Amino acid sequence: MGTPMKTGPAMQGGEAGKGHQTANIPGVGSPITNEAYNVIAALHAKLEGLEAYRKFALDANPQLWKQFTESDVKCVTALCDELEKLIKDGKFRLREPGRANAPS
């Protein structure tokens, strides 16, 4: 297998290609923080899983899929709470796309 590819704002430091050195270019990159991206990515994955459980429950053993759903809904709730906290605390958006916020 190949080397895992880093995605999202975390690429800001320049891991776009093996041996390829890049710099932060003002105005180029994600407008959200790495932390916000991670929460959104995890939330997206959980929501996709919930949709899969719904479909699987139609085929067989709905009680099993209901149990998994209840567990994942708790995760979704926690991720939504964390996303709301990031927004409230001003940790959602970067001041400039592609650039880390300066420490306060």
Has residue 37 been placed in a domain?
A: yes
Q: How far apart are CA 50 and CA 73, in angstroms?
A: 8
Cα pseudo-dihedral 59, 60, 64, 65, rounded to 10: 10
CB 36 within 8 Å of CB 83: yes
pLDDT reported for residue 99: 73
Total domain count, the chain: 1
Has residue 21 been placed in a domain?
A: no
Angle of helix 34-59 relative to helix 62-88, nearest 10 degrees, comes to 160
Q: Most confidently modeled of 6-10, 18-22, 78-82?
A: 78-82
pLDDT reported for residue 53: 97
| pLDDT, mean over the chain | 82
pTM for this prediction: 0.71
98 φ/ψ sector (left φ>0, alpha ψ -120 to 50, else beta): left
Has residue 101 been placed in a domain?
A: no
Can you tell me the mean pLDDT for 42-63? 97
Has residue 83 been placed in a domain?
A: yes
